[in-house]
Chains A and B, each alone.
Chain A
């Protein structure tokens, strides 16, 4: 079975590719970018195309499938509607799948399930990364606020942190919010 993965995120494409490579008898082709997309698809002639639901090239690809059907070339269509549950799960995960007619449902289902799991795994990775980046940014803001307090009030680093913490507790806010206010005020009032 020939599987094409179209994804502008090469990180996600490789996560999906890695997951699908466990399936025996599969040949996997990852395509990224919009240039020459249809020519690549024609060349690969895949049995199934997996892509991100929000991929901007979907209309172009659907057009291609319809036209190639008119030319009596391999017929492609969206997953059979009998598989409503599987489709709903794939839509939720952000996977869109185009399956060439003739691929039996019992071969499609496990593939789609696997793709959904890989998409979800990627989404989790992304949110972990975002969280980690957010924490890093918060750390930097707090450090800047501490330096401002140390310079302007001549206090030590632990004292500066203590002041931020006290203010946060008394005003029922997070330390980073107080730190941000300090930084902003400093930018407005400072030299």
Chain B
């Protein structure tokens, strides 16, 4: 009897791994049967997970932490044994704003665009207007990446401009209608905005944090314990799907699958842009190559580093304006479950890091690190402002950002 999982997701390219695990039979090979529930808001994905309509969910990582800590609703312990990918989001600005802060054809330089945006923000404030940016959820990496970038460029996200929530499928409409001046969203929604002439992509979030944690596969913590062997089988199937996903030979066929009405319901061409690192940045433009726009497999990309959860916690207290709390920090860190990931992949020959936590944003180039067997290479992993995050100094990091 196959182990059944119902997986909740939003129509985004980075919901790819569970979908491809099912479509290519990697799940079946592990004795797992997957079915999917698509929604349009993260609140609904989360409700289905908490109340048992789904067993696992494609979820913005900070929301798994916020739910565990009881932000905005009663606390429910969630766990993330698998990272569905790193980065894959972009910042798209209205045509007018893009022309003013990011001249040229390619992706901008985060520092240069930030400096120009700061001037633009000041000009708008002087004439009594606050620029408005959309993010997909308060507890999303999109919100944290955008705010990290703005703050490092001397723009105060809550005072100098307004950041509002817009569900991904509405982002292009909202930008086109002038409800927002810019947005940070995952693919294919930036490309949709570009194709509709609503805006121009100016930055990839991978330029803000080169290896930034993005979606996770979230489950209720108690369910993981109850179904441990099945969960581990699912992890192996998704890891196989990840290997398949990043192989250029499969890009087109995978784009076609993800484009289907029951998944992203978008054009395969649009989806292929994100998968193949070839985004079209402006309406009618030519593809622009940017490597590792989304990062799904290499360098143990799916490994849930505890330090990633800890960084998200620092941003959660930073932007919720709450004090650091040692107990909460521990609870947040425990949402990421490298132990489950390790036991799922032990003995498969897949590379497993020796440590479960690392200094984030400290690698300027390829670096060998210890693996459970031998070594593995991690490449560049830095924040655009050069500030590393050392999880051993969590409180100081938070204080330095106040």
Contact = CB atoms under 8 A, between A and B. Distances in A.
Whether both chains belong to one complex is answered with yes
| Overall SS of chain B's interface | loop
Contacts of B119: none
Contact of A58 (B44, B76, B164): B44
Interface residues of A, number: 23
A157 interface: no
Nearest to B72: A66
B47 A91 contact: yes
A191 interface: no
A100 to B, nearest CB: 14
Contacts of B48: 91
A54 B167 CA distance: 12
Q: Pick the most buried of B42, B51, B71, B76: most chain A CB atoms within 10 A of its CB.
A: B51
A91 B51 contact: yes
Interface string B50-84: 01110000000000000000011110100000000
B72 A96 contact: no
Q: Pick the most buried of A65, A66, A80, A88: most chain B CB atoms within 10 A of its CB.
A: A66
Contacts of A54: 39-41, 44
Contacts of B164: 60, 63
A105 interface: no
| Overall SS of chain A's interface | helix
B43 interface: yes
B185 interface: no
Contact of B74 (A53, A57, A66, A80): A80
Given A65-B72, A66-B138, A81-B74, A56 B51 contact: no
Contacts of A56: 40-41, 167, 169-170
Contacts of A55: 41, 44
Contacts of A96: 43-44, 47
A60 B44 contact: no
Contacts of B170: 34, 56
B138 A62 contact: yes
A85 to B, nearest CB: 11
A58 B167 CA distance: 9
A99 to B, nearest CB: 11
A78 interface: yes
Nearest to A55: B41
A87 interface: yes
A43 interface: no
Contacts of A65: 72
Interface string B214-243: 000000000000000000000000000000
Nearest to A96: B47
A66 B70 CA distance: 12
B136 interface: yes
A59 interface: yes
13 contacts: A53-B44, A55-B41, A56-B41, A57-B167, A58-B44, A59-B137, A60-B165, A63-B165, A78-B73, A91-B53, A92-B53, A96-B43, A96-B47
Interface of B: 39-44, 47-48, 51-53, 71-74, 76, 136-138, 164-167, 169-170, 321
